[in-house]
């Protein structure tokens, strides 16, 4: 995650300085990598609770096929230049592709009949794009081809994508990215391929507030499991265990200060813990812990290897 600054006029949900998270892959040019990066972003959105979104993809071609397409695009927009907004009139000669994603309603009408890059791809770019679509299908990612997804910088090639949500209104992009095989070389480095994405934190907050308005969520005032770890060995073991439990979805806490058992049990009570797992020196030697049900007060011994499965059954 890193701070970013915008030069242009800000849209809804965007500020001059903003925070963005992202991921990048360098040195791999396979279309499967493109699909995996898109899949990774959709999984992230789902994991944080955003479900109302669509995946849109396009291909920008490459240095071999894009110049010819650019000329066809110029001819189309020059013929209808009087219908374009002032910004797009300025973009026309410099970067006509940017007219395709203009949000002006009149420009969108002109762009509907414009030539599409996907119909002018060279054989290699066409094969790459088909590979991306096939790979997305293998990953069960539902997508649609949007020929108006473009990028304003020349080093972008082939795959480009956006994740959009109707919860954000007209400026619907949650995040997006694309392949930039020419970026490293443009900066003076070696000629390596690259693909990545960025997702603005402010946009994520807006989408999450649509799902659960800020401040309206009912807090979960309990934990599933409190680990009472007694002694250095138990503390070290419990540190790894608690993170495995949390990755499994278990609301777990542990006492890192190695307090006496009585103090830790009181702490578990204050946290309204459903279960307490007691691990001391004897338990470490036996390879099993004591699991106590805080409601029934019943307790039993459980092998270390069964702890994850046991908690999965009880959460």
Inter-residue contact 266 to 216 (CB < 8 Å): no
Q: Percent of the chain beyond pLDDT 90?
A: 41
Cross-strand bridge partners of residue 20: 2, 200
Confidence at residue 100, expressed as pLDDT on a 0 to 100 scale:
87
Q: Is 195 within 8 Å of 177 (Cβ atoms)? A: yes
pLDDT at 167 over 70: no
Band (pLDDT 50/70/90 cuts) for residue 17 is low
As a whole number of angstroms, the distance between CA 132 and CA 141 comes to 11
| 172-200 mean pLDDT | 89
Instruction: Specify the long-range contacts of residues 23-26, CB closer than 8 Å, at least 24 apart.
Output: 23/196, 23/197, 24/194, 24/195, 24/196, 25/194, 25/195, 25/196, 26/184, 26/192, 26/193, 26/194
Q: At which residue do the structure tokens 């030539």 appear?
A: 115
**Model confidence pLDDT, tens digit, residues 92-109:** 888 888 888 888 888 888
Of 39, 14, 28, 5, which is closest to residue 203 (Cα–Cα)? 14
- pLDDT at site 230: 93
The pTM assigned to this predicted structure is 0.65
Q: What would the pLDDT profile of 247-298 be if each residue is shown by its tens digit?
A: 788 888 888 778 899 999 999 999 999 999 999 999 999 999 999 999 999 9
For 208-230, write each residue's pLDDT tens digit. 776 655 454 444 578 899 999 99
pLDDT score for 217: 46
Over residues 67-75, mean pLDDT: 90
Give the pLDDT of residue 216.
46
Looking at the predicted structure, is the pLDDT value of residue 20 above 50? yes
Residue 57 tokens read as 């993809």
The pLDDT tens digits for 105-114 are 888 888 888 8
pLDDT surpasses 70 at 134? yes
> Mean pLDDT, the chain, as a whole number?
85
124 pLDDT band, cuts 50/70/90, is very high
Q: Which domains does the chain have, with CATH numbers?
A: 2-65+121-211 (3.30.930.10), 223-313 (3.40.50.800)
pLDDT, position 12: 52
């Amino acid at each position: 995650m890193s701070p970013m600054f915008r030069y242009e006029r800000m849209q809804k949900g965007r500020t001059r300085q903003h925070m963005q998270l992202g991921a990048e892959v360098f040195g791999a040019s396979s279309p499967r990598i493109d699909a995996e990066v898109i899949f990774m972003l959709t999984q992230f959105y789902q994991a944080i609770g955003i479900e109302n979104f669509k995946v849109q993809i396009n291909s920008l071609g490459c240095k071999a096929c894009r110049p010819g397409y650019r000329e066809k695009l110029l001819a189309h927009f020059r013929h209808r230049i009087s219908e374009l907004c002032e910004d797009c009139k300025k973009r026309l000669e410099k970067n006509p592709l940017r007219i395709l994603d203009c949000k002006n309603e009149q420009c969108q009408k002109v762009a509907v009949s414009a030539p599409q890059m996907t119909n002018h791809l060279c054989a290699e770019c066409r094969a790459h794009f088909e590979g991306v679509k096939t790979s997305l299908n293998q990953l069960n990612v539902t997508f649609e081809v949007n020929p108006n997804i473009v990028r304003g910088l020349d080093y972008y090639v082939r795959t480009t994508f956006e994740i959009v949500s109707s919860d954000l209104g007209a400026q619907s992009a949650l995040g997006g990215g694309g392949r930039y095989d020419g970026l490293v070389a443009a900066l003076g480095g070696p000629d390596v391929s690259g693909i990545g994405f960025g997702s603005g934190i402010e946009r994520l907050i807006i989408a999450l507030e649509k799902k659960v308005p800020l401040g309206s969520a009912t807090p979960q005032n309990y934990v599933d499991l409190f680990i009472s770890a007694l002694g250095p060995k138990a503390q070290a073991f419990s540190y790894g265990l608690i993170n495995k439990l949390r990755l499994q979805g278990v609301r777990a806490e542990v006492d890192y200060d190695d307090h006496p058992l009585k103090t830790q049990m009181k702490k578990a009570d204050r946290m309204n813990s459903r279960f307490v797992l007691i691990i001391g020196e004897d338990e470490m030697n036996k390879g099993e812990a004591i699991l106590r049900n805080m409601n029934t007060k019943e307790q039993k011994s459980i092998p270390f290897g069964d702890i994850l499965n046991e908690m999965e059954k009880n959460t």
